[in-house]
Chain A
Amino acid sequence: KAGVTQTPRYLIKTRGQQVTLSCSPISGHRSVSWYQQTPGQGLQFLFEYFSETQRNKGNFPGRFSGRQFSNSRSEMNVSTLELGDSALYLCASTATGADSYEQYFGPGTRLTVT
């Protein structure tokens, strides 16, 4: 099976712009979680989608949003970018099932805000 893919891999944006990142989960996985990784804060949970519905949400401002499509692909959007949004954004997919606990991570999208 192909792994989790994320596009683009690198992105440079200017303060005030918005950005959309994409994540394609492993085939058959319906849960997609997003994380932000920075040197200062480490890995922080953004949100999780399952069957096109947001099930869990972390403590991030409303500028961070996401969605999931019927094919389980997910996008996250950051509006009004700030310098502090520069980070590696990781998505992870999980199989469906009561005991499906392993998250499979993508390579990440490196966002730089100037």
Chain B
Amino acid sequence: EDQVTQSPEALRLQEGESSSLNCSYTVSGLRGLFWYRQDPGKGPEFLFTLYSAGEEKEKERLKATLTKKESFLHITAPKPEDSATYLCAVQAGSGGYQKVTFGTGTKLQVIP
């Protein structure tokens, strides 16, 4: 069974204090790993897709990386507006419907 584990569950940072969120996964036949941001009372919003080990993608203060077992979302010099829950999801399988499994998220709070 596909599994996605995110850590830590919650993270509190001072503004400007860089850190990383972890997403470890166990799947058979990874097709893609996704990062989403979810603000309170809203639906998840897409950030990145990573397809293969060694791949990296960046957007403003966020950088996502992928290995064969885990992905990291690095946040450099975060600002209060980066406060949100960050969700990781993996898509696996071949042919037909390829299942997407979501992690439980890391709730990030950035304090001014």
Binding between chains A and B: no
Query: Could you tell me which B residues sit within 8 Å of A by CB distance?
Result: none
